[in-house]
Amino acid sequence: MDKLLISGGGPLSGEIRISGAKNSALPILAATLLADGPVMVSNIPHLHDITTMFELLGCLGVTVTMNEKMQVDVDATTLNNHIAPYDLVKTMRASILVLGPMLAKYGVAKVSFPGGCAIGSRPVDLHLEGLKLMGASVEIDGGYINASVDGRLRGAHITMGIVSVGATENLMMAAALAEGQTIIENAAREPEVVDLAQCINTLGGRVSGAGTSTIVIDGVLSLHRGSYRVMPDRIETATYLAAAVATRGKIKLKDANPKTLGAVLKKLQEAGATITTGIDWIQLDMEKKRPKAVSFATAPYPGFPTDMQAQLTAVNAVAEGSAVIVETVFENRLVQINELNRMGAVISVDKNTASVTGVERLKAAPVMASDLRASASLVIAGLVADGDTVVDRIYHIDRGYECIEEKFQQLGAKIRRIPG
């Protein structure tokens, strides 16, 4: 298994380009199953999870062709199989996102039941309950979700018990071709949900209210061919900003969208960062100052994103003062703290709350990644540790960060991949 070797150093400086958003590209690629013709999707990041989604679409018989500009043409009219197999779903839970579109377009879908992962049990009950309300019959058999509907799905009024990004996306895609109107209450408001809604509307869908808690979808008979450009990755953006804060640096991120990062930018300013923004760029300058510790609690958008909790915890580990961090979205998403403490951090955990007292510098150590964002927090920790830190199991990182060592090298970090 590959590892990353990071030599602790000084402030990050320079500028890099932000890639397309993984968590927008994945549902958008699933949504291409709804269309009656090829859909060209651009600004797709080159990530392991995206490759897995391509494999899954290929497995369904969908034609996926990529041009030299990493633009992907997805033609679902060649679909000849309705089964999303265990070996693909087990490597990427987001495979569940093909369930809604496949059911809506073809009336049948068989998707391996996604297991939990390091950060929690990750149930899919909200996805299945919503589809049942739309007239689908759903059975679990032999580890598979078997879903079917006679004729078309029917619009329904769905109130989500918990704010769920994936369930909102799955049900929005299913409703796009359902008969009549679907209303999703307590819907997720994430920018990736908005991006998906805009893509569906580009293909002839009728989705309104995306970005608010109530999304209204008027089903149409079919969606046509089209093209769509995926939004910039807000979590990749925030990760590099957090690394610049921890290392007291000054960086500029191009092809970023500051409008999707309100809660994060506010917290980083509280930590002492000077942030300036444009339509498609963000500059952060710590003026070589040590960050101040900032307390926060994660929450669904527009709250502070759970996908940035591990990274800001790493910043707090070397910040001035103490802070309290509360993880409210996932039940087991503080696991990276054990590894940070092995690097000399002073963090105690009580259930879903972490209390951090910052230290001036961490100490390099061999550490192990447990999930995508925890891996990113260990890279940040390595940048502000004395000595050489080796992060193992970085296949987690390759799922969500395009060219991570090249981008950090461009910002002046001493980081390289060691083939495992």
Residue 24 CB, nearest approach to ligand EPZ (Å): 8
Q: Is 254 in the site for ligand EPZ (CB under 6 A)?
A: no
Q: Which residues contact 62 (CB under 8 A, 6 or more apart)?
A: 32, 33, 74, 75, 76, 78, 79
User: Phi, psi (5° rounding) for residue 134?
Assistant: -90, 10
Q: Which of 104, 126, 308, 385 binds ligand EPZ (CB under 6 A)?
A: 126
Q: What are phi and psi of 128, to 5 degrees?
A: -70, -40
Q: Minimum Å distance from CB 171 to ligand EPZ?
A: 10
Nearer Cβ to ligand EPZ (161/420)? 161
- Catalytic residue at 403? no
As given in the structure block, the two tokens for residue 51 are: 């490759």
Q: Which of residues 62-121 bind ligand EPZ (CB under 6 A)?
A: 94, 120
Burial of 164 by CB count in 10 Å (0-12 exposed, 13-18 middle, 19+ buried)? buried
Which residues, other chains included, contact 228 with Cβ-Cβ below 8 Å and sequence gap of 6+?
Answer: 28, 39, 40, 41, 42, 198, 199, 202, 203
172 binds ligand EPZ (CB under 6 A): no
Residue 346: how many other CB atoms lie within 10 Å: 13
**285 or 402, CB closer to ligand EPZ?**
402
Q: What minimum distance in Å lies between the beta carbon of 301 and ligand EPZ?
A: 7
Question: Are residues 332 and 118 in contact, defined by beta-carbon separation less than 8 angstroms?
Answer: yes
- The site for ligand EPZ, by CB under 6 A, has a size of 23
Considering beta carbons, is residue 310 or 340 the nearer one to ligand EPZ? 310
Q: Choose among 299, 368, 376: nearest CA to 330.
A: 299
- Does 26 participate in binding ligand EPZ (rule CB under 6 A)? yes
- Amino acid letter, 229: R
Within residues 388-417, the interface with ligand EPZ by CB under 6 A covers: 400
Q: Provide the token pair at 225.
A: 């061919």
Which one among 307, 392, 398, 402 touches ligand EPZ, defined by CB under 6 A? 307
Q: Single out the residue of 127, 234, 393, 407 in contact with ligand EPZ (rule: CB under 6 A).
A: 127
Q: Smallest distance, Å, CB 36 to ligand EPZ? A: 26
Chain residues that interact with ligand EPZ, rule: CB under 6 A: 23, 26, 94, 120, 122-127, 162, 164-167, 188, 306-307, 329-330, 372-373, 400
Catalytically active residues, by annotation: 117
